[in-house]
Amino acid sequence: MDAAVSPVGPLLRDWRRRRHFSQLDLSIEAGVSSRHLSFVETGRSRPSRAMVLQLAATLDVPKREQNQLLVAAGFAPAFAERPLDDPDLAAFRMGLDRLLAAYEPFPCLVVDRGWNLVMSNAGLAPLLEGVAPHLLEAPNALRVSLHPDGLAPRIRNLPQWRFHVLGRLARGAATSGSEALRALHEELVSYPGGLEAGDDAGGVAVTMTLDSQDGAMSFLSTVTTFGTALDLTAAELSIEAFLPADEHTARAMRASAGKGGS
């Protein structure tokens, strides 16, 4: 590839600006010459594979976008992407199955980078009561949560929950640069429900209070990611668990699970 037309420079510059780094700041943090960095960004110099990865790591570029930077610089991608049912990911999927089962009877789900549902446990079913079928055909966790035909009518603290979900989604879109996440954020912002900053359970997690046949049930939402995974499919998955925020909710979920198993 001709260094004079290398497309990686503008991409790196965009990521640098998105992360609010000056060229000097980035060169110091990444341990590269500021002059060389300037040449790379303008296309006058082609970076090595190691330099692309070093700059990407310093800028906290997601793995999928790191692959794009490498390809733009003329190198092979660093991270593979295989479907979750690939035999090479069998051990990883087994681990997910065990983790989901361990959370029962409390709801737990696995979502991809776009918050599309990939896996879930039996504890999710009580939360989805009354959700319109069209939202469950290809379920997106955040859409189901905030859509007027989804959980929104049952969420007692909907303005606070919307504030939490939309803020998290906005940060994810900004961090990843994903147009799909930006589009999802615009869609969810258009739904009714208001916005209001709420309690965050002492700074640990956000509580969602949901109407049910057993009365109000309160859950703490926690999210876990696989940031160190080398496969894109694994790296972009997140586990969201809804843990009972009070004893009433814990009893109600256990009782619901007992009825389902009888």
Q: Are 121 and 108 in contact (CB under 8 A)?
A: yes
Same domain, 142 and 219: yes
For the residues 141-145, what does the mean pLDDT come to? 96
Residue 262: band (very low, low, confident or very high) from pLDDT cuts 50, 70, 90 = very low
Give the domain CATH number at 48.
Answer: 1.10.260.40
pLDDT digits (tens, 9 = 90+) for 207-233: 899 998 888 999 998 888 876 677 888
For the residues 240-251, what does the mean pLDDT come to? 94
Print the SS3 string covering the chain.
CCHHHCCHHHHHHHHHHHCCCCHHHHHHHHCCCHHHHHHHHCCCCCCCHHHHHHHHHHCCCCHHHHHHHHHHCCCCCCCECCCCCCHHHHHHHHHHHHHHHHHCCCCEEEECCCCEEEEECHHHHHHHCCCCHHHHCCCEHHHHHHCCCCCHHHECCHHHHHHHHHHHHHHHHHHHCCHHHHHHHHHHHCCCCCCCCCCCHHHCCEEEEECCCCCCEEEEEEEEECCCCCEHHHHCCEEEEEEECCHHHHHHHHHHHHHHHC
pLDDT digits (tens, 9 = 90+) for 2-29: 444 568 999 999 999 999 999 999 999 9
Same domain, 62 and 115: no
For the residues 182-202, what does the mean pLDDT come to? 85
Domain boundary among 49, 72, 95: 72
pLDDT attached to residue 4? 47
Domain of 30, in residue numbers: 3-72
Same domain, 120 and 196: yes
Same domain, 164 and 256: yes
Share of the chain above pLDDT 90, in %: 73
Total number of domains in the chain? 2
For tokens 């696989």, the residue is 226
Would 154 be classed as within a structural domain? yes
Same domain, 52 and 18: yes
pLDDT digits (tens, 9 = 90+) for 51-65: 999 999 999 999 999
Which has the closest alpha carbon to 59: 91, 108, 95, 12? 12
Give the domain CATH number at 255.
Answer: 3.30.450.20
For the residues 241-257, what does the mean pLDDT come to? 92
Domain boundary among 48, 72, 96: 72
Same domain, 145 and 31: no
pLDDT attached to residue 126? 86
Q: Can you give the pTM of this predicted structure?
A: 0.82
Share of the chain above pLDDT 70, in %: 93
Same domain, 44 and 129: no
Same domain, 30 and 149: no
Cα separation, 91 vs 5, in Å, equals 43
Would 77 be classed as within a structural domain? no
Domain boundary among 22, 49, 72: 72
Same domain, 218 and 96: yes
For the residues 141-158, what does the mean pLDDT come to? 96
